[in-house]
Amino acid sequence: MKCSFCGFEFKENEADKSCCGCVMAKKCRLLKCPNCGFEIPKESEWIKKIIRFFGKKLFPP
């Protein structure tokens, strides 16, 4: 995924690392860009399925 703030590209699991020190990290539904700290809400599984189904043309990164 690409941070919509600073443009840094990272994977979901990379985002987890950048806020591992946070007390709310376990239940948190936000993905934090490891480069700038901008937070993007985690997409639900069914939203991901829709995006995969319709492809990148309809949902550009």
Partner 1 sequence: MSMVSKNKETKDSCKNRKKVLIVGNPNVGKSVIFNNLTGTYVTVSNYPGTTVEVSRGKGKIGSEEYDIVDTPGMYSLLPITDEERVSQKIILSEKADVLLHVIDAKNLERMLPFTFQLSEAGLPVILVMNIMDEAEGLGIDIDIGKLEKELNMPVVPTVSVTKKGMNFLRHSIKNYVYGKPFDLAYGSSMEEKIAAVEGLLENNYPVSKRSVAILLLQNEMEILKTDENSETEITGIKKLIAEAGESYKHSVNYILNLKRYRTATMISEKVLKHGGNSKTGFAERLSLITMNPWTGLPILMLVLYFGLYKFVGGFGAGFLVDFLENTLFGKYVNPYVTTFVQSLIPWVSIQNLFIGEYGIITLGIRYAVAIILPIVGTFFIVFAIIEDSGYLPRLAMLIDRVFKKIGLSGRAVIPMVLGLGCDTMATMVTRTLATKREKVMATILLSLAVPCSAQLGVIMSLFDKNFAGLLVWVSIMFFIFLFVGYLGAKVLPGEEPIFFMEVPPLRMPKISNIIVKTYTRMEWYFMEVFPLFILASVLIWIGQITGIFDILVGLFVYPVRLLDLPDKTSVAFFFGFFRRDYGAAGLYDLNGAGLLSGNQLLVAAVTMTLFLPCIAQFIMNVKERGWRTGVGISIFILFFSFIAGFILNCLLKVSGVQL
Q: Which residues bind partner 1 (CB under 8 A)?
A: 4-11, 13-14, 19, 22-23, 29-30, 32, 34-39, 41-44, 47, 50-51, 54, 58-60
Which residues are CB-contacts of 15 (< 8 A; sequence separation ≥ 6)?
A: 1, 31, 32, 33, 34, 40
Question: Which is nearer to partner 1, 19 or 26 (by Cβ)?
Answer: 19
Question: Which is nearer to partner 1, 26 or 47 (by Cβ)?
Answer: 47
Question: Which is nearer to partner 1, 26 or 54 (by Cβ)?
Answer: 54
Report CA-CA distances (Å) from 46 to 6, 9, 21, 60: 27, 23, 29, 17
